[in-house]
Amino acid sequence: MNLNMEIELVGHSTGAYAVAALLNFDNLGVSKAIIISGYSFLFNSQIYPHIGLIDAFCSENKAALQKMTDVIMSAADFNGKIEPFIECLKAYGYIGTTFKLTKHALTAFYLFLDIHDLDYHPDIVWIWFSEVKNTLGTSRLHWRRILSFCNEYLLSGDICPDRKYKYIPASYDELPEWCKEAITGLLEQKKREYRETGTLRSYRCSCTSFCLFLIDHGYDSFEQISPEIIKEYSIQDKHSTFKGRTTRFVIVRAFLHYLAEYRYTERHGLDQCLISGSAPVDKIVDVLSDEQVQRIQEYRLTHNTPVELRDIAIVLLELKTGLRACDILSLRFQDIGWKKCQISIIKKLKHRSPFQCLLKWEMLYTFYYYHQISEAFQIIRGRNKTSGFVIPEVTGHE
């Protein structure tokens, strides 16, 4: 039997080296040093199940791989980029487990490329991942983000750790052009009105939902919209809360008004077919009981360390004024009118509003006493300037 021919049928260098190492044949002309340094990890029981074989792929993925002609780099070049990519992760503060997983995942993918004589392309990464993800258990999400980072690094030379990657195509991206054009126009209009990013996201989601409904009912343009189809859309909406349903309808009404204004449809007044009101809502507020308030007062009288005084000052302010934590922590002594026992600030709300509140002297005394102690610690720590905040920082050991 011609052993060299048998090995050639395996298809690539990895297969030849693997067989040579497994059978321990010396007459194959393969260096043992190369086998050990380059491919010994092929027989690692931890990595082997994650390599994947094209023969086991679904027919759709097999066909996609056969059509793949454009490549970014060879498999060998990809392997050479693994260590620089890990160094890039280190530069962004990643540690420990992430490095091990990165090395493991990218090595498995490299072996997949090498065994099947493929070169690197981002699309091949996701075809491979879709097939092997079921072998990864709960770590598949971590693998997915590492692979996204790697693709970004190989294409641009860097990564963006704060970026949110889209792994499933958004419904908006799959809409026909006649829908996208109108939705994009409305979103641009709302951007010019300085709407928040979250608001724009809600607009795109609601308009996409409406367009998908039209497409499911055979529509291929907005010219065909009628009051009847809008009524049917309102009936099929499955929001679990009145607020969600109302928000959706407010946005769709704005979309319908936009379509009429920019002549996507000749029918005017379609936005009046949706009712966007909701029933009045009463919120039940959870408040402290008299017993809980009494316990807070007792705590105030019996605790005197800097951290305890800080906690007392914050809780008393929340209890007596209703201020939020961010407003309390930014409170300065210049905001307190000592003679009038009054606080005057601008609340850090979406719409900044002035706020005034009268305080009892016992509260002001607590703030001042705590402030003097904490500022003393600031000086002890070697800081020449005091903070000026009513609630300056102290650490637990102080």
Q: Which residue has the tokens 């693994």?
A: 82
* 185 has a pLDDT exceeding 90: yes
pLDDT at 295: 87
- pLDDT band at 37; cut points 50, 70, 90: very low
CA 215/CA 174 separation, integer angstroms: 12
| Average confidence score pLDDT of the chain | 75
What pLDDT, on the 0 to 100 scale, is given for residue 213?
Answer: 92
Residue 369 has a pLDDT of 60
Give percent of the chain above pLDDT 70: 69
Q: Helix (H, G, I), strand (E, B), or coil: what is residue 2?
A: coil
Q: Report d(CA 189, CA 182) in Å as an integer.
A: 11
Give CA separation, 254 vs 113, 174, 269, in Å.
Answer: 51, 22, 11
User: Which ranges in 341-385 belong to alpha helices (H)?
Assistant: 361-380
Per-residue pLDDT of 143-171, as tens digits, reads 888 898 898 898 888 888 777 666 566 77
Q: How confident is the model at residue 394 (pLDDT cuts 50, 70, 90)?
A: very low
Find, among 7, 46, 44, the residue nearest to 27 by Cα: 7
Position 38 scores a pLDDT of 42
φ, ψ for residue 387, nearest 5 deg: -80, -30
350-372 mean pLDDT: 61
Over residues 87-116, mean pLDDT: 87
Residue 181 reports pLDDT greater than 90? yes
- What pLDDT shows up at residue 258? 93
- The pLDDT of residue 13 is above 50: no
Copy the structure tokens of residue 212: 């998908």
Q: Is the pLDDT of residue 20 over 90?
A: no
Please give the average per-residue pLDDT across 103-107, as a whole number: 89
pLDDT tops 60 at residue 381: no
**Higher pLDDT residue, 33 or 70?**
70
For the entire predicted model, the pTM comes to 0.43
The two structure tokens encoding residue 129: 């991942």
Q: Give the separation between CA 305 and CA 122, rounded to whole angstroms.
A: 58
Among 197-201, 326-330, 378-382, the range of highest mean pLDDT: 197-201
Least confident of 220-229, 307-316, 346-355, 380-389: 380-389
Under DSSP, the state recorded for 164 is P
Least confident of 211-215, 241-245, 280-284, 369-373: 369-373
Average of pLDDT values for 309-321? 75
Q: What percentage of the chain reaches a pLDDT higher than 90?
A: 16
Q: What is the pLDDT of residue 186?
A: 93
| Report for 25-39, 189-203, 383-397: range of highest mean pLDDT | 189-203
Helices (H), the chain: 3-10, 13-23, 32-39, 59-67, 75-91, 97-115, 122-132, 140-156, 177-192, 197-216, 227-236, 242-261, 290-302, 306-321, 325-329, 361-380
SS3 342: strand
Section 165-179 average pLDDT: 77
Better-scored residue on pLDDT, 382 or 184: 184
CA distance 163 to 144: 14
User: Residues 130-133: contacts with CB within 8 Å, 24+ apart?
Assistant: 130/61, 131/52, 131/56, 131/57, 131/58, 131/61, 132/50, 132/51, 132/52, 132/108
Where is 343: in which H helix or E strand?
strand 342-347
Split at pLDDT 50, 70, 90, the class of 292 is confident
Whether pLDDT at 130 is above 80 = yes
How confident is the model at residue 19, as a pLDDT?
Answer: 43
Q: Which of 32-36, 100-104, 333-337 has the lowest mean pLDDT?
A: 32-36
Confidence of residue 373 (pLDDT cuts 50, 70, 90): low
> Which two structure tokens, joined as six digits, stand for 228?
């009847």
Paired tokens of 106 = 């990218």
